[in-house]
């Protein structure tokens, strides 16, 4: 009799705080027979949700082949596997190579999204990454290091757009990062935030400008697990500004009483003028 195959869940474990797990992620972890988690990046309390008797493996010392051997062996026994990645699996999650192998082995799998560390950091900073009247785009990238970047994706190329810029895997190269950002057109007064281990008990936040952020990161001895967030949106003074016609400080049109969209007619306008509108994602 053929043993039914199990299933693999690639789970976004969030940035650290187990309360930031999605309900679906928690449910999968609670029901999994085998859990393989990135123990250098995923908070250990996340796997405390494992059921009694579940196999739990940390993956920080394992290579891809060893991870997949564990995964496939469990699946062939009809077991459910939760492969827990930090943050959201789609951002620097190294899951593409895992999916390729699962596809080649005809293994059923599902991806459970998680809270990306960038958005957890934005929440911690109390910032909106898309600023009315300011940057409306977000670039997530990394500085070039041991692994090269494609043509056109060098930091100086991307920084030239002047958007809200979020750098992963780059805090150990802050002197080079600052130099490239200044060369691309950011000024020394550009606000910067560095968030170390967001969502963990030892989380640290540094807010400054490009003029001295490299020195502050060096003094903090941050070399891993820190996001670098650059741009106008990171200015802590924005939340204290009151939008008026005189000072030029803008606010979103969406909830303005004179703005018409699909669900509401603005003051002094007719329903025929309505346009589609949506809340932020």
State the pLDDT at residue 275. 44
If pLDDT is split at 50, 70 and 90, which confidence band does 165 have?
very high
What are the strands of the beta sheet with 34-37, ordered from one edge? Answer: 55-58, 34-37, 80-85, 7-12, 108-112
Q: Is 39 a catalytic residue?
A: yes
Q: Residue 200 gets which letter from DSSP?
A: S
60 is catalytic: yes
Q: Compute the distance between CA of residue 27 and CA of residue 49 in angstroms, rounded to an integer.
A: 9
Active-site position among 60, 69, 219, 258: 60
Task: Say which of 17, 24, 26, 39 is annotated catalytic.
Answer: 39
Half-sphere exposure of 155 (CA within 13 A, CB side): 26
CATH top class, domain 7-115? alpha beta
* 3-state class (DSSP) for residue 56: strand
Between CA 162 and CA 231 the distance in angstroms is 7
Q: For residue 197, give the nearest of 163, 232, 171 by alpha carbon.
A: 171
User: How confident is residue 131, by pLDDT bands cut at 50, 70 and 90?
Assistant: confident
End-to-end CA distance of the chain: 48
Return the domain boundaries, the chain: 7-115, 118-238
As a whole-number percent, the residues of the chain with pLDDT over 70 amount to: 87
Bridge-partner residues for 175, per DSSP?
A: none
pTM (two decimals)? 0.84
pLDDT of residue 243: 66
Q: Which CATH architecture has domain 118-238?
A: 2-Layer Sandwich (3.30)
Each residue's pLDDT tens digit, 49-62: 999 999 999 999 99
């Amino acid at each position: 009799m053929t043993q039914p195959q199990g299933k693999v869940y690639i789970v976004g474990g969030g940035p650290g705080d187990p309360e930031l797990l999605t309900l679906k992620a928690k449910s999968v972890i609670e029901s999994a027979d085998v859990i393989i988690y990135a123990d250098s990046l995923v908070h250990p309390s996340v796997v405390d949700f494992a059921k009694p008797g579940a196999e739990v493996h940390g993956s920080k010392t394992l290579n891809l082949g060893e991870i997949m051997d564990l995964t496939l062996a469990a699946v062939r026994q009809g077991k459910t596997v939760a492969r827990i990645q930090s943050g959201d699996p789609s951002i620097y999650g190294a899951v593409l190579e895992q999916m390729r192998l699962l596809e080649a082995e005809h293994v059923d799998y599902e991806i459970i999204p998680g809270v990306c560390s960038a958005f957890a950091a934005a929440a911690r900073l109390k910032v909106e990454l898309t600023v009315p009247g300011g940057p409306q785009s977000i670039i997530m990238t990394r500085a070039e290091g041991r692994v090269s970047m494609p043509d056109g994706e060098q930091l100086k190329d991307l920084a030239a757009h002047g958007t809200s810029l979020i750098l992963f895997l780059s805090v150990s190269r802050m002197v080079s990062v600052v130099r490239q950002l200044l060369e691309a057109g950011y000024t020394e007064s550009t606000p910067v935030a560095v968030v170390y281990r967001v969502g963990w008990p030892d989380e640290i936040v540094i807010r400054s400008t490009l003029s001295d952020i490299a020195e502050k990161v060096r003094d903090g001895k941050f070399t891993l697990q820190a996001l670098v967030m650059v741009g106008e949106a990171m200015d802590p003074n924005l939340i204290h500004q009151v939008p008026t016609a005189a000072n030029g400080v803008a606010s979103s049109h969406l909830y303005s009483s004179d703005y018409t969209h699909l669900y509401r007619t603005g003051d002094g306008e007719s329903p025929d003028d309505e346009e589609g509108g949506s809340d932020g994602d």
